[in-house]
Amino acid sequence: MKSNIMPTYSRLDVSFKRGDGVWLWDQDNQQYLDALSGIAVCNLGHAHPAVCDAIAKQAGCLLHTSNLYTIDKQEQLATRLTSLSSMDSVFFCNSGAEANEAAIKLARRYGHQQGIELPKIVAMEQSFHGRTMATLSATGNAKIQNGFGPLLDGFVRTPFNDIEAVKALQNDESIVAVLVEPIQGEGGVNIPDPEYLTRLRELCDNNHWLLMLDEIQTGMGRTGKLFAFEHANIVPDVCTLAKALGNGVPIGACLAKGQAAEVLSAGMHGSTFGGNPLACAAALAVLDTFETLDLINQAAETGQTILQQLREALVNVDIITDIRGQGMMFGIQFKQDCPEFVSKALSMKTLINVTAGNTIRLLPPLIFEPAHADQLVSTITSLVNNR
C-alpha cells in the first residue's frame, strides 16, 4: 500500500500496537524485547504507570495556554532540573534539535556581547546534534549534511577525545564555545578518556569559552548518572536535554549557568509549545520515578553486568574490533558495515540499532532486570555467531 508519509526513514516492516515495560507487541500480537528504548527515549520502559497517570490527569485539566503566561508545571520542572543539575535557568522546547538550536543561538549572542563579530563554536568530528540547519551545521557527519548546503558558518571541527586539538585553538579570539556530547551516540557510542571533559572544562575556563554539553542521548540516567557530566565532577555552562526527559512525550530543555544564564532575554528566542503543561507533567513524573525507585544506580549495575557478559561471550569473534559501554549505553563495533543485524535481530524478536554503519548500538530501558539482560546477551551472541 502506498504511503503518504515522506520517505525520510527506511522503516522496518513492523508496527507496534502495545507496550509494557521492556516489551512491545506488534500487529500480530508477537512479543519483542526492546533494547533500543525508542532511541534512548523510553528510559522507564513503555506505559509506565506514573507517567501514564500524570499525562491522563493533565490532559483532563489543561493542555496549552502558551508561554505568554506563567505555567505552573513548567516552573516546577525548571526548579527541579536546575536543582538536580546545579544550573541556574532553563529554556523549554520540544526536541533535542531545538534545545541545541537554543544553545547555538545563546553562544552566538554571548560572543556578540563580548564584541566578537563572527563568533565560532568548536564542534567534534563524528558528532550529531540534530537536523535543523544550525544543528546540522554543527554535526560532524558529512553524509547527512550532503545536499543541504550552504551550511551555516561559525563551526570549527576537531577530533573527538583529542584535547590537544582543542588546545591548539586557544589563539583564535573568535571562538566562544565548545559543543560536545559526553559520549557520542550516533557517531558509534564513542566514549572519551575519563579526563576529557575535565580538561575541556579547564580550557573553557582559561579562555572564557562556554562549555556546552549535548546530553540529549546521555542525560536522564542513561550512563549511570542522572547527567553524564557528573562522571567528570564538572558542571557545564550550557546543557541540553530531550529524549528521555518526557519518556516519549516530546520535550527539550536548554539549561544554562552563570553568565550563560543571562544571555537571552525577552524576544530573543521562543517556542509556541515548549514547556506546555502536558510535557512538563510527564517530565515531573519521570523525575519522581527516578527518585522513588533508584533506577539510576540499578542502570549502572545492570549496565556493567551486560557489558561484562557481552565481552566474555564475544571475546573470540574476530570481526569485532571493540565492545564498549557506560551505564545502559553500549556499542559493539565491527570491522565492516553491518546493517543486516537490525532486521536479523527483529526476526529474533529483539529491537536493536546499527549506527555509524559498523556499530550495533544497544540502549535498553533503565528498568532492565537480570533476566532481560541475560536474554539480550544471548540474542546478540546468537546473532553475531550465526551471521
The pLDDT tens digits for 135-166 are: 999 999 999 999 999 999 999 999 999 999 99
Report the C-alpha gap between 54 and 175 in whole angstroms: 43
pLDDT at 30: 98
Q: Is 90 exceeded by the pLDDT of residue 252?
A: yes
Specify whether the CB–CB gap between 104 and 282 falls below 8 A: no
User: For 110-130, what is the mean pLDDT?
Assistant: 98
Q: Is 90 exceeded by the pLDDT of residue 264?
A: yes
Specify whether the CB–CB gap between 219 and 252 falls below 8 A: no
User: For 280-302, what is the mean pLDDT?
Assistant: 95
Tally Cβ neighbours within 10 Å of residue 261: 18
pLDDT at 292: 86
User: For 8-36, what is the mean pLDDT?
Assistant: 97
pLDDT tens per residue across span 46-78: 999 999 999 999 999 999 999 999 999 999 999
Specify whether the CB–CB gap between 255 and 82 falls below 8 A: yes
pLDDT at 312: 98
Q: Are strands 16-20 and 175-180 parallel, antiparallel or unpaired?
A: unpaired
For 218: left if phi > 0, alpha if psi spans -120 to 50, otherwise beta; the answer is alpha
Q: Which strand (E) or helix (H) includes residue 120?
A: strand 120-124
Task: Determine the Cα angle at 221 with ends 218 and 223, to 5°.
Answer: 55
For the whole prediction, is pTM greater than 0.95? yes
Closest to 46 measured CA to CA, from 55, 36, 56, 37: 37
Percent of residues, the chain, with pLDDT higher than 90? 98
Q: Is 90 exceeded by the pLDDT of residue 103?
A: yes
Q: What phi and psi values does residue 116 have, to the nearest 5 degrees?
A: -90, 115
Q: Is 80 exceeded by the pLDDT of residue 8?
A: yes
Report the C-alpha gap between 130 and 372 in whole angstroms: 31
Q: Is 90 exceeded by the pLDDT of residue 293?
A: no
Q: Is 80 exceeded by the pLDDT of residue 1?
A: no
Report the C-alpha gap between 259 and 238 in whole angstroms: 10
Report the C-alpha gap between 122 and 178 in whole angstroms: 5
Q: Please, what is the average pLDDT of the chain?
A: 97
**Is 294 an active-site residue?**
no
Set 91, 92, 128, 334: catalytic member: 128
Set 92, 120, 214, 227: catalytic member: 214
Set 73, 120, 225, 243: catalytic member: 243
Tally Cβ neighbours within 10 Å of residue 338: 21
- At residue 278 the predicted structure's pLDDT band, cuts being 50, 70 and 90, is very high
pLDDT at 387: 85
pLDDT at 167: 98
pLDDT tens per residue across span 191-230: 999 999 999 999 999 999 999 999 999 999 999 999 999 9
Q: What phi and psi values does residue 164 have, to the nearest 5 degrees?
A: -65, -35
Specify whether the CB–CB gap between 11 and 2 falls below 8 A: no
Q: What phi and psi values does residue 16 have, to the nearest 5 degrees?
A: -95, 135
pLDDT at 174: 98
Helix (H, G, I), strand (E, B) or coil at 82: helix
Specify whether the CB–CB gap between 116 and 174 falls below 8 A: yes
**Is 229 an active-site residue?**
no
Task: Determine the Cα angle at 252 with ends 275 and 50, to 5°.
Answer: 75
**Is 28 an active-site residue?**
no
Q: Is 80 exceeded by the pLDDT of residue 92?
A: yes
Specify whether the CB–CB gap between 203 and 178 falls below 8 A: yes
Closest to 241 measured CA to CA, from 77, 350, 53, 95: 95
Q: Are strands 353-355 and 359-362 parallel, antiparallel or unpaired?
A: antiparallel
Alpha carbon of residue 179 to chain centroid = 14
